Amino acid sequence: MTTVMNRLALARDISGLAAMPGIETSVHGIAAVCDPLGALYLPDAGLLVVSDLHLEKGAALARRGMMLPPYDTLATLTVLAAVISRYNPKLVISLGDNFHDRIGSRHLPENFRALIVEMARGREWIWINGNHDPDGIVDLPGTSADEMHYAGLTFRHEPKNGLQSGEIAGHLHPSATVRRREKSVRRPCFATDGARLLMPAFGLMSGGLDLGHQAMKGLFDKALLVAHLLGKDRIYSVRYGNLWG
């Protein structure tokens, strides 16, 4: 919850956000910037990447009888609007699990739909299909696809097994833990070994899977793996061997 509130507060303060530097990296030789709010920007292509928005998660859980405060979609879209304002990309790719279930986009309230329409105005938008929303989007700007090859990279929701060069994926919600002065801190992170990159979940009600989890096995060259952790005021880059846990 602390990470959620930090990201939302920063999104509301555009001037503060503009002063927060991202971390420069590269994926398969393509320059990229890891943004502190959880988006990836490819400056040469004018491309912004986000992943696992899980919009309408609160509504989806409510349909199953789990009542949570229904503020997640507005919070996530507020952060997304701040990132789009910062980079003004030509193209946005959202890497799947854009909605938390199959009917989320169909039942999206009109005020939220209008926010997405405004963000998409004047730019292309690709919605990659995820395991939560395999049928694509309804009545929203942009195009749905199972994966996309663009700017020398492959964009998909679930990472393929084994080492993959040029892949940017989501799904696993990577996170990492560092320990300082007898205190451990766990944060969402970008995870990359320079060949592929896994995105943190952008949805503000989404959890994370530690980089040491079995699901991450074999995806990276761990000797080259770096976690770019989302801190409250900047990104912290830590080599895999220096992580805790």
Chain segment 132-143, per-residue pLDDT in tens:
788 899 889 999
Query: pLDDT per residue over 10-23, tens digit each?
Result: 555 655 655 678 99
Q: Cα(17)–Cα(33) distance, rounded to whole angstroms?
A: 14
pLDDT for the residue numbered 159: 97
Residue 242 lies in a domain: no
pLDDT for the residue numbered 69: 60
- Give me the chain's average pLDDT, please: 88
pLDDT for the residue numbered 99: 86
Residue 179 lies in a domain: yes
Decide if pLDDT at 1 tops 80. no
Q: CA 141 → CA 46, 96, 99, 129, 183, distances in Å?
A: 18, 15, 15, 15, 45
pLDDT for the residue numbered 67: 60
pLDDT for the residue numbered 190: 98
* pTM beyond 0.85: yes
Q: Are 180 and 54 in contact (CB under 8 A)?
A: no
Residue matched to tokens 């927060």 = 20
Provide the domain limits for residue 123: 2-237
Mean pLDDT of 185-198: 96
Residue 111 lies in a domain: yes
Decide if pLDDT at 29 tops 70. yes
Query: pLDDT per residue over 74-102, tens digit each?
Result: 889 999 999 999 999 999 999 998 986 77
For residue 20 the two structure tokens come to 């927060």
Decide if pLDDT at 7 tops 90. no
Residue 244 lies in a domain: no
Confidence of residue 223 (pLDDT cuts 50, 70, 90): very high
pLDDT for the residue numbered 106: 85
Residue 245 lies in a domain: no
CATH of the domain at 153: 3.60.21
Residue 76 lies in a domain: yes
Decide if pLDDT at 193 tops 70. yes
Decide if pLDDT at 167 tops 90. yes
Q: Which residues pair with 183 in a beta bridge?
A: 180
pLDDT for the residue numbered 102: 75
- As for how many domains the chain has, the answer is 1
Decide if pLDDT at 61 tops 60. no
